[in-house]
């Protein structure tokens, strides 16, 4: 579900993983049509980092 959000509404993903400041920056980037692709890539990357951090925290 979060992956779909990352692709369609990249800025919203940052709010769902608890990073509102990055979400605001992503929204500013996303406002420009050219910036949508980098915003989506950034959101997918942030989601993968979030998932990795969660898995590491579960093992410790």
Q: What mean pLDDT comes out for the span 25-54?
A: 89
pLDDT higher than 90, residue 50: yes
32: pLDDT confidence band, cut at 50, 70 and 90? confident
Contact (CB, 8 A) for 51 and 44: no
Question: How far out from the chain centre does Cα 16 lie?
Answer: 8
40: three-class secondary structure by DSSP: helix
pTM, two decimal places = 0.79
pLDDT higher than 90, residue 7: no
36: its two tokens: 């949508």
Q: What mean pLDDT comes out for the span 22-26?
A: 90
pLDDT higher than 80, residue 33: no
pLDDT of residue 35: 84
Rounded distance between C-alpha atoms, residue 51 and residue 2, angstroms: 11
């Amino acid at each position: 579900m979060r992956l779909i959000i990352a692709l369609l509404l990249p800025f919203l993903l940052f709010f769902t993983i608890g990073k509102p400041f990055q979400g605001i920056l992503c929204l500013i980037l996303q406002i420009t049509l050219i910036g949508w692709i980098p915003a989506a890539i950034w959101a997918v990357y942030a989601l993968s980092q979030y998932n990795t951090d969660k898995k590491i925290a579960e093992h410790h």
